[in-house]
């Protein structure tokens, strides 16, 4: 962590509103994308992203610099928020089909198949560990290189590559089995 980053965190710990706003500015979009990747509902993404930063402000005085990037800590908070969201979700909202899918747009059958595949993919992703989900998100959504992911997570690039391979293998097996 750079000296500037440490200083920013120290100011934010003291509840300096400009420092907190700067942390939000630096990380909100990344955290929102991470949450969207796992939830796919814009309204829920906004709520959960806001919760992540409220929790950040609340827990920042107890934050310990372990050598891992601050961003990794925020991803852990975001992951916990997504898990809480799914735990409290009684009934998954159904997407409505727009009438605009007629005349050259995908058929209803294709849309239903795609929706079912996305649902199965999301369920399978949710069964992966937090670390596996984060690696896949950073690699395929954020398009980070192994080296960048390794740096964010405090691992070696080789370890990230192995974890990614195993996660993809597990994901493919779960989808194939219909889990």
Tell me how far apart the alpha carbons of residues 51 and 26 are, in angstroms, rounded to a whole number. Answer: 16
**Average confidence score pLDDT of the chain:** 82
Once rounded to an integer, what is the mean pLDDT over residues 69-81? 91
CA-wise closest residue to 58 among 79, 42, 73: 73
Where residue 97 falls among pLDDT bands split at 50, 70, 90?
very low
Whether the predicted pLDDT of 101 surpasses 80 = no
pLDDT at 144: 87
Under DSSP, the state recorded for 105 is: S
Q: Tell me the per-residue pLDDT of 14-42, one tens digit each, with 9 for 90 and over.
A: 888 899 999 999 999 999 999 998 887 88
pLDDT at 123: 80
Q: What does the block give as tokens for 73?
A: 């800590």
pLDDT at 109: 63
CB atoms within 10 A of CB 116: 10
Angle at 12 between CA 11 and CA 18, to 5 degrees: 85
Backbone angles phi, psi at 57, to 5 degrees: -60, -40
Rounded to 10 degrees, the C-alpha dihedral 10/14/16/19 comes to 20
DSSP track, 112-171: HHHHHHHHHHHHHHHHS-HHHHHHHIIIIIS---HHHHHHHHT--HHHHHHHHHHHHHHH
Q: Which domains does the chain have, with CATH numbers?
A: 1-90 (1.10.1740.10), 106-179 (1.10.10.10)
Q: Tell me the per-residue pLDDT of 119-148, one tens digit each, with 9 for 90 and over.
A: 777 888 888 888 898 898 888 888 889 898
| Rounded alpha-carbon distances, angstroms, from residue 120 to 87, 124, 173 | 17, 6, 12
Whether the predicted pLDDT of 168 surpasses 90 = no
């Amino acid at each position: 962590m750079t000296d500037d980053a440490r200083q920013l965190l120290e100011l934010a710990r003291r509840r300096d509103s400009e420092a907190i706003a700067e942390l939000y500015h630096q990380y909100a979009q990344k955290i929102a994308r991470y949450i969207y990747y796992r939830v796919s509902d814009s309204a829920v993404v906004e709520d959960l992203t806001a919760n992540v930063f409220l929790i950040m402000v609340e827990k920042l005085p107890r934050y310990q610099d372990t050598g891992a990037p601050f961003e990794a800590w925020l991803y852990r908070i975001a992951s916990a928020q997504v898990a809480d969201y799914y735990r409290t979700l009684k009934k998954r909202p159904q997407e409505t089909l727009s009438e605009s899918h007629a005349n050259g747009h995908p058929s209803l059958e294709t849309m239903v198949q795609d929706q079912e595949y996305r649902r199965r993919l999301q369920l399978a992703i949710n069964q992966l560990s937090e670390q596996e989900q984060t690696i896949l998100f950073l690699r395929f959504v954020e398009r980070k290189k192994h080296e960048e992911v390794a740096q964010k997570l405090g691992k070696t690039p080789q370890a990230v590559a192995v974890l990614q391979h195993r996660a993809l293998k597990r994901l493919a097996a779960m989808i194939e089995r219909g889990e």
